[in-house]
Chains A and B, each alone.
Chain A
Amino acid sequence: MKKLTPSFVKSRDEARAWSLWAINYFTACGFMELLPWVGSGYDMERFGLLATPSPRHADVFIVAGYVTKKAAKRIKMIYDQMPSPKYVVALGSCPMTGGMYWDSYATVKRLDEIIPVDLWVQGCPPRPENIGHAVVMAINAIKSGFKGH
C-alpha cells in the first residue's frame, strides 16, 4: 500500500472536520438547545454540520440529554452501524453523572458504559454558546489529527 503523504493526511483531516454529518436523533430534553442551532438564530450549517437520517451516512453522534435503559440498546445499535471514523458528543449533565434524574430507576447514569464518548458538554441544558464552543473544539481537534473510533 502506498504511504500517505503528510499533506494528503492534512487535507483529508481538514475536509473531514468541515463536513461533519450528525445523525438525526431527537433524544431528550437536552435536545431543545440544538433547535436554535438548526434554526436561523445560530445556524449550524455554516460549520458544515448537517442532520442526516441514516446512520450509515453519519460521522457524529450527538447524544443530547438523558438516556433510558430502553433507549440504550437502540443507541448501541445506531453507534455500531456508523462507519469509522466516528465521534460521540454527550450534551448535558445527565449523560455525565445522572444529572437531574439521578434517582430515577429507568435512566442510565453514565453514557460511557454504553458507547465511548469523546466530548462532554456541561449544562442543563447547555447554552447554545457552550454547544458552539464544543463544536469548534471538535472541528479543531479533528483538523489536528484526532482519530475518533
Chain B
Amino acid sequence: MEEREISFATLPFGPQHPASSHFHALVKVEGEGVLELEPHPGYLHRGFEKLMEYRTHPQNCVLVDRICVLDPFANELGYVNAVEKLGNLEVPERGRYIRLIMTEFGRIQSHITWIGIMGMALGFDSICRIAWGDREKIIRLNEMATGGRLYPCYFCLGGTRRDISPEFVKLAFETLNYLEEQLDFYDRVFFNNESFITRTKGVGKLTAKEAIELGATGPNLRACGIDYDVRKDEPYEVYPKVNFRAITRVEGDAYARSLCRRDEIAESISIVRQLLRDLPEGPFNTEVNPLYAAPKGECYFCVEAARGELCFHMVSDGSPFPYRVKVRGPSFSHSLVEFPRLAKGAMIADIPVIYWSLDPCPADMDR
C-alpha cells in the first residue's frame, strides 16, 4: 500500500467571510481537523482612548456609544458612572431608573441580534430575518425615547438628556409582551431544534478552571458554573432594588452558552417590568456644567454589558478633558484567548459555531 503524505494547509478565516465579522484568523489545518488558530485583530482599530483625551466629557458621551456597536447603552452607562464616581455627582432616582430601563432593553436587543447571527452562521437563514425584524421593535422604542436609533447619546452627567413619556411606557409594556411570545417561538423553532442541538452540544467545551484562567466573563463564564455577574457582585445604580438572578449552567459548551443568553432575555424582560412598575416621579437629571472638570483622581468602574464585564479606568487631572481613559472590552479575551484555545482540535465546520457561541464584538476588541 502506498504511503500518503499528510500535508498541512493554512486557511484564512478572513476579514471577508460570511461567518466572521471583520476579524481575521489564520487556521492551520490537517485534513478537516484544526491544529492551531492564530488571531489577527486590528481591522477596526481607531485609537478610541486617544481620541477621548481631546474631547470634553459631554463630547465623549457621544463618542463612547461606538465602542461596542451592538450594545450602546452599556458603554454610556460605564463612562458616565465613572465620571460621576470621581466627582460624587448626584443623580435623581427617576434618572437612575430610566437609565436601567434603557440598558436592559439594550441587553435584550443585543441578545436578539446574537440569535440572528448565530442562526445565520449555523445555516438557519429564516431565523436571522425574523430576529432582526423583532429587533426593530426595540430600536423604535429607542427612537421614541432618545431620538436616535442605534447611537442614542442619551445618558449624560447627572442623569439622562430627556424624560420618557407615558406613551413610551405603554409601548414598552406592549413590546415586552410581544417579545415574551416570540421567545416561545424561538424555543420551538431554534433552541429545541434537533439540528441546533446536535451542532452545539459538546462543541467548544470550556471547563470552569480554564474559563477563569483565560479571563472569561459574562454568559461565557456563567455557562461553566461560575456565578459572576457585576450587577449582583458590585451593584450599581438601582440594581439592589430589583429582584433577579444570575443565570448559570454547568456544561460549558456552545449549547449551554446559547441557553444562558436565551434565559437572560427572559430575565431582562422581568427586570424591565419591575422597573417600569416602580418608576418614581420627579426630576430626571441634575444640571451639570458642560465644561465640567472632574476632580483630580482615579476611578475604576465595571458594568455588566451583554457580552461580559466592561470596565472603565478613568484618570482625571482636574481639567475638563480626561487625562486617560482605558476601556476593558469583554470581547478582548474572548476572541484573542479563548477562541484559539477552543478551536484547537475542532473540525473546520465547527469554527463558526464556536466563534459565535462566544458572542464576540470585534469593535470592542479593537477599540
Contacts and interface: CB of A to CB of B under 8 A. Distances in A.
B28 to A, nearest CB: 20
A35 interface: yes
Contact of B149 (A29, A33, A107): A33
A47 interface: no
B175 to A, nearest CB: 14
Interface in B113-168: 113, 116, 128-133, 135-136, 139, 149-151
A146 interface: no
Contacts of B70: 32
A25 B44 CA distance: 13
B63 interface: yes
A55 B46 contact: no
A28 B44 contact: yes
Contact of A35 (B14, B17, B46, B132): B132
A125 B131 CA distance: 21
Nearest to B41: A70
A131 to B, nearest CB: 12
Contacts, number: 92
A41 B132 contact: yes
Contacts of B54: 103
Nearest to B20: A26
Contacts of A71: 15, 22, 43-44
B217 to A, nearest CB: 23
A51 to B, nearest CB: 7
Nearest to A51: B18
Nearest to B69: A29
Interface in B43-80: 43-47, 50-51, 54, 63, 66, 69-70
B46 A104 contact: yes
A74 B70 CA distance: 24
B240 interface: no
B46 A66 contact: yes
Contacts of A74: 14-16, 43
Interface in A81-103: 100-101, 103
Contacts of B15: 25, 71, 74
B59 to A, nearest CB: 11
Interface residues of B, number: 35
B136 to A, nearest CB: 4
Interface in B1-40: 14-18, 21-22
Interface residues of A, number: 35
A26 B131 CA distance: 18
A145 interface: no
Contact of B22 (A27, A53, A124): A27
B290 interface: no
A19 interface: no
B363 interface: yes
B16 A55 contact: yes
B328 to A, nearest CB: 20
B297 to A, nearest CB: 27
A106 B132 contact: no
A105 interface: yes
A6 interface: no
A107 B46 contact: yes
Given A33-B150, A40-B129, A78 B47 contact: no
B45 A24 contact: no
B47 A105 contact: yes
- Best-buried of B132, B136, B139 by chain A (most CB within 10 Å): B132
B318 interface: no
A78 B136 CA distance: 31
Interface string A23-54: 11111110011011011110100000001010
Contacts of B136: 36, 39, 41
Interface string B65-100: 010011000000000000000000000000000000
29 contacts: A23-B16, A24-B16, A24-B17, A25-B22, A27-B22, A28-B22, A28-B44, A29-B363, A32-B70, A35-B116, A35-B135, A39-B116, A39-B130, A39-B132, A40-B129, A40-B130, A40-B132, A41-B136, A43-B129, A53-B17, A55-B16, A66-B46, A68-B44, A101-B46, A105-B47, A105-B50, A106-B45, A125-B151, A127-B149
Interface of B: 14-18, 21-22, 42-47, 50-51, 54, 63, 66, 69-70, 113, 116, 128-133, 135-136, 139, 149-151, 363
